[in-house]
Structure 1
Amino acid sequence: MQATEDVTSGIGLLRIDHVGMAVPDLDEAIGFYERVFGMRCTHVEENEEQGVREAMMAVGPDDNGSRIQLLAPLAPGSMIARFLDKSGPGVQQVAYTVKDIDAACAELRARGLRLLYNTPKRGTAGSRVNFVFPTDAGGVLLELVEPAGI
C-alpha cells in the first residue's frame, strides 16, 4: 500500500470532484436532473473564457458531496459546442479535487502527461483548473480542480 500512497501524494488527489456532462440546453438539463433524480442545483454561472454556461448539481443531501456539472455552450465554436457536435450529449470529463493544482500539474508533467494549459485557468466558483489530454489518460478528459479557498 505504501507505493500507492507515494504515487498519489505527489499529485495530491483528494477525491472525485464531479463528472461533467455536455448538454445542449442548460435550463432543460437542470430541470431534468431535478425532476427525474431529485438533484439540487447549487450553482450556475457563465464562464466566457471557457465558452460555457454551467451548473453544479448536488447528488444527495450534502452540498459538499458528489456533484454533476452540466455544461452548455455559450457559442457555436466553444469546446463544449464542438464536443456536442462530435459526440452528442453525455459525459465530457471526470474531475478530481487536488490540494495544490500547481504541484499536481508539475508532478503530472514530470510523469510525462500533457496538460491543456501552461498555467491553470479560472473554473467554477473561483476554482483553478487544468485538464489532462484524453490521449494521455486512457481516452478520458481529466480535470484537476483546486477549489477556491484551499
Structure 2
Amino acid sequence: MTHDTPIRVEHVGIAVEEFEEAEAVLHALGARQYVDDTGPNDDFRWAGYLLGDASRLELVTPLSDDNFIRDFLDRHGPGLHHVTLEVENMDAVIAALEAADVTVVDRAQHETYEEAFVSPANPTGALFQLMRYREGYVEKYDSPDTYVNGMAVANAFDDRN
C-alpha cells in the first residue's frame, strides 16, 4: 500500500547537551534561528534554524532529568535524534506505514499541529516524526516555508539577503 499525499523532509532534529555550544556550530555554518521554544510540557527546549534557502535543522535539549531527550542523550550521547516529515494527510501516511508493518506511536493533537512518531525499531533505525500543521502555526512560530493543509504559506523571510 502507498499513499498519494504530499510529504517532505521538514527538518532534522539534533539532541544536544550543551545548547549554546551546539548553536555556535550552526551559526558558523550560516544557519539562522527562527524559533526558540519549549515542548508541550516545558521539559525540553527546541530551536529551529534555517540553513541556506530551504534546509532546516532543530536543536533539542532537556530541561529536566525525566524526559525522552535526557533518556536519548544518556543512551546515545549528542547527535541525530529524529527526522521530521511534513505530511498533508496524516491518516493516509499512517495507514501506509501500518500496512507495511511499521509501528506508529504517540499520535497527538496540539493547538496548531498534529504529530505521530514512527518507532525507530523499523529497518532504517531512524525515529521519524510525522507532522501536519494547522492554521495558526506560522503565526505562532513565524515559521518559513510551512505548509498548512497541503498549501504553501508565504515565506516569512522573503526579505533576507
TM-score by length of 1: 0.79
Aligned residue type for 1:66? S
How many residues are matched?
Answer: 136
1:145 aligns with 2:131: yes
User: Which residue does 1:42 correspond to in 2?
Assistant: 34
Equivalent of 1:16, from 1, 6, 9? 9
Asked whether the equivalents of residues 87 and 131 of structure 2 are also in contact (C-alpha less than 8 Å), the reply is yes
Answer yes or no: is 1:120 the counterpart of 2:113.
no
What is the root-mean-square deviation in Å for CA atoms of aligned residues?
A: 2.1
CA 1:50/1:115 → structure 2, altered by over 3 Å: closer, same or farther? farther
Cα distance change on mapping 1:13 and 1:112 into 2, 3 Å: farther
Q: Could you list the runs of 5+ residues in structure 2 that have no partner in the other structure?
A: 135-147, 150-161
Where 2:59 maps in the other structure, the secondary structure is strand
**Counterpart contact for 1:55–1:71, Cα < 8 Å:** yes
In structure 1, list runs of 5 or more residues that go unmatched: 1-5
Partner of 2:115: 129
Decide whether aligned partners of structure 1 residues 103 and 8 sit closer, same or farther in structure 2, where only a CA change above 3 A counts.
closer
Q: Between the two proteins, what is the percent identity of the paired residues?
A: 29
The structure richer in helix per residue is 1
